Structure formats: structure tokens, C-alpha cells
Amino acid sequence: MHTPSDAIPESLVESRGVAPAVLCAPRPMYWSVRRELWENRSIYIAPLAAAGIGMLAFLIGLGFSHSRGHAADQRVMLAMPYAHVAWLLLATAFTVGFFYCLDALYGERRDRSILFWKSLPVSDLTTVLAKASIPLVVLPLLVFAIAVTTHLIMLPLNAAALLVGGAAATLRQLPLLQMELVLLYGLAVLALWHAPLYGWLLLVSAWARRAAFLWAVLPLAAICAFERIAFRTSHFCSLLEDRLYGFGEDAFALHGQTGAPVDPHLIPLAALTPGRFLSTPGLWIGLASAAIFFVAAAHLRRRREPI
């Protein structure tokens, strides 16, 4: 005995042109990054606050004359406030990235939210990579967008101040587009160069049961002190210093063709040396170390329980 079926025959579906429902891909990486932005508002609030402070300082400094000095000095003086705002944003991004990575995996164990996040179909490696993308990708792009927006707001204010002072023509000497391209290049260089630092912080964040900051800093300081006392050398300290700001000599030509040092407020495009930077062994050793740290952090997250 046959019973009628509620299923629609495929031939009927095809004849009526009924298309089967298409399921959307879950995109775990995308939603993991969105989760980090939702849970950590300091990622964008701190750079916005830094831009506000820079803008306030710029407005206060508008009363000073920019028309004194030679033509080359005028270009540097015009570029100074824009460069200072960019440097403030860079320092803010590094600080935010440092403390974010230090708390990224430690915080979810401390508040026991890891029990919920582990119940979702998202691998530990995907979670760690999503957290690593914040200081390596999201923060640099966010800082660049905020810096460009701030500079564009500063430009007409600067023009108005110069117009009142009778020196509006000097603003034409400001190579703003060049400065933005140098800033974008610098952000990419910093992200690649500091990748092992962020990887180390994520590893400590996944391992430490308490006082993550001390576990991240004290072992490195202890190694430096031990080497200095035992061997009278400071190779490890030099290695750490190079990892913090040793990218400059490889990423930029710090001296012009005449041997004169390049002013950091106004770096020309000719001073960018991406080929030399990408061929630096220290860059690739650092990236390999960062990859090891990320994998180790994912392995520890898989094993760690809430605190």
C-alpha cells in the first residue's frame, strides 16, 4: 500500500522554475573579526581619541607663523603637525595592539566566556588568527583612515590660518598625497616587523593563568639581565630593540644622495626601499617566529580551561 508523499518531485521543481535555497557560507573568520570589534571598543575609540588630541593641539598651534625660514624649511614646518598626528596615531595603535593581544586569550578564560565560544563551530586556529588580524590588519587600516580624515580636516583650517597671516601660497608646498603614501607604507612595514611581538603576546595570553603582563615582560628582562651579568654582553637586548624599531634602516633610505639625513617629518617617496626591506633576513625570521607563536597559541587555547 502506497501513501502520498509530501516531497515535491525534482521534475516538478525544474518545470516550475523553483530554485533550491542556497545556504550562505558561515564565514567564521569574518564573524570572528567582527566579534573582536564588538567586544573591544578600544580598538577604534583609542585612535579616535588620539586624533582628537592631535587636532586640539593643531588648533592651538595655528597661531604660530609658518612663513619664516627658507623654502625647504617651510615645507618641513608645514608638514610637522601632520606628521605629529600620524606619529601619535602610530604610537596609539601599537599600545592598543600590545594590550589587546595580551588580553585576547587570557580575558576569555578569566570571564569563562571561552566555554561559549568553544561550543561554536570555529577552530582554535581561526580564533587565534582572527585575533592576530586586529593588530596586523584592522588597526593599521583603521589608523590610516583616521589619519587621512584628520589631515583632510586640518588642511582647510591650515589654509585659513595662513590666509589670515598673508602666507596662503606656502600651503602649495605641502605634499599631502606623498605623506599619506609614506604613512601607508610605514603602517605595512610596522605590521610585518612587529608580527612576532604580537605573536609572543598572544602565546603568553593563551598560557598565563594570572599576571599576563608580567609573564610577557619579566622573562625577557630576566634573559637580558642574566646575559649582561654572566657574559658581559647584551645581544638579546639588542635583538629586542631591533625588533621594536630596527626596521628603519631597511625600510627607508635615511640619508639622501648627498649624504644629508632625511627629515622624518617629510620623507620623500624616493626614500622608500621596499625591496631592501622584503629581502631582510630579520623580516622573514620574525614572520616565521610569529607563525610558530600563532600555532602554539591555538594549541594552548585548545587545552586550556577557564581560570
Res 24: pLDDT: 53
Res 87: pLDDT: 96
- Domain ranges for the chain: 27-303
Residue type, position 234, single letter: S
What CA–CA distance (Å, rounded) separates 237 from 223?
Answer: 8
Res 5: pLDDT: 47
* 123 contact partners, CB below 8 Å, separation of at least 6: 28, 298
Residues of the chain short of pLDDT 50, as ranges, are 1-8, 12-15, 18-23, 66-67, 69
Contacts by 244-252, CB closer than 8 A, 24 or more apart: 244/194, 244/197, 246/193, 246/282, 247/189, 247/190, 247/193, 247/277, 250/276, 250/277, 250/280, 250/282, 250/283, 251/185, 251/186, 251/189, 251/193, 251/276, 251/277
Res 305: pLDDT: 79
C-beta separation of 171 from 158 below 8 A: yes
Res 272: pLDDT: 94
Q: Which residue has the cell 596609539?
A: 92
Which 3-state string (H, E, C) describes the chain? Answer: CCCCCCCCCHHHHHHHCCCCCCCCCCCHHHHHHHHHHHHCCHHHHHHHHHHHHHHHHHHHHCCCCCCCCCHHHHHHHHHHHHHHHHHHHHHHHHHHHHHHHHHHCHHHHHCCCHHHHHCCCCCHHHHHHHHHHHHHHHHHHHHHHHHHHHHHHHHHHHHHHHHHCCCHHHHHHCCHHHHHHHHHHHHHHHHHHCHHHHHHHHHHHHHCCCCHHHHHHHHHHHHHHHHHHHHCCCHHHHHHHHHHHCCHHHHECCECCCCCECCCCCCCHHHECHHHHHCCHHHHHHHHHHHHHHHHHHHHHHHCCCC
Res 167: pLDDT: 64
As given in the structure block, the three cell numbers for residue 276 are: 631592501
